[in-house]
Amino acid sequence: MKKGKMLAAGFLGLALLMTGCGKQSGDTASDGGGETIKIGWYGPLTGYAATDGTNSLNGAQLAIDKFNAAGGMDGKKLKLVAEDDQGKPEEAMKAVQKLINKDQVTAIIDGAYSGSSKTVAAKVQEAKVPMVVSIATHPDVTKGGKYINRVIYTGPVQGEAMAEYAVNDLKMKNIAVLYVEADYGTSIFGAFKSKLEELQGKVVYESAFKFGDKDYSSLLTSVKMTKPDALYIVGYYNEAAAIANQVKEVGLSVPLIGVDGLDTPKYPELATANAEGTILTTSFYLKDTRQVVQDFVADWTGARKDEPGMVASQSYDAALVIIDALKKVGADRERLADAISQTKDLEGTSGKISFAQDHEVVKPVIFVKVKDGKFDFVTAK
């Protein structure tokens, strides 16, 4: 496994106004003119990961708004109930407990990072509430039961795919790696290193960095000494942009390769010309000609006046999975969980979505390259 326009301009304001709100009732609730089915969402709307969290929330909201505009399901509309986890696992637990116990949501869209997702997984399984993970990649998130499925491939899948691409396509074997000191970074890096060595390649330098680090000059000086074929950045866009901006400052001339944490317009915006040429693994690209992608991009840009990235795409797809299952079996949590797990060839913005028996998505890994400040498709593996 290698695995018309949106109705409302200003949906960002609507989505953010919804944060933390929702009636205290059961799976369906009276909401003015009809019943609603409540879907929970949690993720970082404040703190270091607020950009990703906001994009995730807006992606999910877009899918739900579009479904409601088309008539909903048997006269019922969906209502997204959002909670901010601030990028902190302990806040994620509070958010999920509220969504389950107070808001009594039918299902949850997980828009958080891996640390938060790992923390709440057991609680979600215990409560038997279906949850679809949109961007968290740590393998442990889906372990332990049938109620959690994931629409993004795991970190190891992404790491292995990049190792194979680096050796077989780019003809690079000596790679320096800088990775974020978090589950996301360590899981991707570990798999990358193992696969690279299996392919007779070598990690010539490795070092972790922390969220929020700004000065990478000493690390990059050390990288320079190893004369690598490429520098693999395993992290998110803020730190990756800072690294890209400092590479030439230390006199290092080396191709940059990266992960889906860089797949946001913020990376080329922050790194400007220094982002040019960066190749990264992801699950979405704007120029995909499939109708579901073009409709998604048109709806998003019509509402927000910017372009969607991987995070928005993944969360849109997570909502699509839940909507598809709801249409098949209704709002009963048990039947919904089974229907989600049985998803087969659902056309999502990130590819055709199916789930394996381990509740992990089956779809290709996409490679894109930064060109003129945009992400251009290279290949899919």
Question: By C-alpha distance, which of 120, 102, 103 is closest to 111?
Answer: 120
User: Three-state SS for 128?
Assistant: coil
Between the alpha carbon of residue 68 and those of residues 36, 37, 316, 326, the distances in Å are 10, 11, 14, 13
**3 state SS of 351:** strand
The gap between the terminal CA atoms of the chain, to the nearest Å, is: 9
Please write the tens of the pLDDT for every residue from 328-347: 999 999 999 999 999 999 99
Q: Report pLDDT for 11.
A: 37
Residue with tokens 């048997």: 74
Angle, alpha carbons 181-184-188 (nearest 5°): 100
- SS3 at position 53: helix
Asked if residue 322 has pLDDT above 50, the reply is: yes
pLDDT of residue 321: 98
Q: What is the pLDDT at residue 75? A: 86
User: What pLDDT score does 328 carry?
Assistant: 97
Q: Which of 76, 97, 64 is nearest to 29 (CA)?
A: 76
Query: Which pLDDT does position 18 carry in this prediction?
Result: 38
Average pLDDT over all residues of the chain: 91
DSSP structural state of residue 73? B
Question: Mind listing the pLDDT tens digit for each residue in 178-222?
Answer: 999 998 999 999 999 999 999 999 999 999 999 999 999 999 999
Give the pLDDT confidence score for residue 42 in this predicted structure. Answer: 98
**Full strand arrangement of the beta sheet holding 351-355:** 346-348, 351-355, 361-362
Give residue-wise pLDDT tens across range 343-364: 999 999 999 999 999 999 999 8
CA 80, CA 40: separation in Å to the nearest integer?
6
Is the confidence at residue 81, as pLDDT, over 90?
yes
Whether the pLDDT of residue 12 is over 70: the answer is no
CB 315 within 8 A of CB 134: yes
Specify whether the CB–CB gap between 359 and 340 falls below 8 A: no
Q: How many CB atoms are located within 10 Å of the residue 63 CB? A: 26
**Residue 14 pLDDT more than 80?**
no
| 243-272 pLDDT tens trace | 999 999 999 999 999 999 999 889 999 999
Contact 242, 272 (CB under 8 A): no
Residues 45-57: tens digit of each pLDDT: 999 899 999 999 9
Q: What is the share, in percent, of the chain residues with pLDDT greater than 90?
A: 86
- Please state the φ and ψ torsions of residue 44, each to the nearest 5 degrees: -85, 110
For residue 7, what pLDDT band results from cuts at 50, 70 and 90? very low
Q: What is the mean pLDDT of residues 232-240?
A: 96
Q: Strands of 374-380's sheet, edge to edge?
A: 202-209, 174-180, 230-234, 256-258, 279-282, 366-371, 374-380
Residue 2's SS3 state is coil
pLDDT at 1 over 60: no
